[in-house]
Structure 1
């Protein structure tokens, strides 16, 4: 079974650690792309903040996995 990761602003994503998600705080476009590029292989679902989704652009939807979900702003 795969794992869940969360990428975005620290204040928006830190609470997901309580649910066992891999939390990757990322402020700014470079940090968001770096977090996305370095996701572990077992990650199946990535939750991203709306800002991180905008910064990732097409990279987020270029392949079927990991499945991504955007937190509404």
Structure 2
């Protein structure tokens, strides 16, 4: 499991053992998405991270995603 997005919104997930990928802007979000380990099955996205990725996470080989409420 991983959490991807702005530091203030994802840092707390580290306390539960979730891999945290901090990305403060759309380019950083897309770069972090491309570096996800292959064994990640779920990525929790902030709303801004989901917007930055657009339809990219919906590919057949992509991990399941969940978007945090605003």
Report the TM-score, using the length of structure 2 for normalisation: 0.95
State yes or no: 1:11 paired with 2:8.
Answer: yes
From the two aligned structures, give the one with the greater strand fraction: 1
Q: Which runs of 5+ in 1 are unaligned?
A: none
Per the TM alignment, residue 62 of structure 1 is displaced from its structure 2 partner at its CA by 2.0
The aligned residue for residue 42 of structure 1 is 39
Does 2:30 align with 1:28?
no
Q: CA RMSD in A?
A: 0.9
Secondary structure class of the residue paired with 1:43 = coil
How does the TM-score come out when normalised to structure 1? 0.91
Matched length? 70
Deviant stretches of 4+, over 3 Å: none
Q: How many angstroms apart in 1 are the aligned matches of 2:60 and 2:27? A: 20
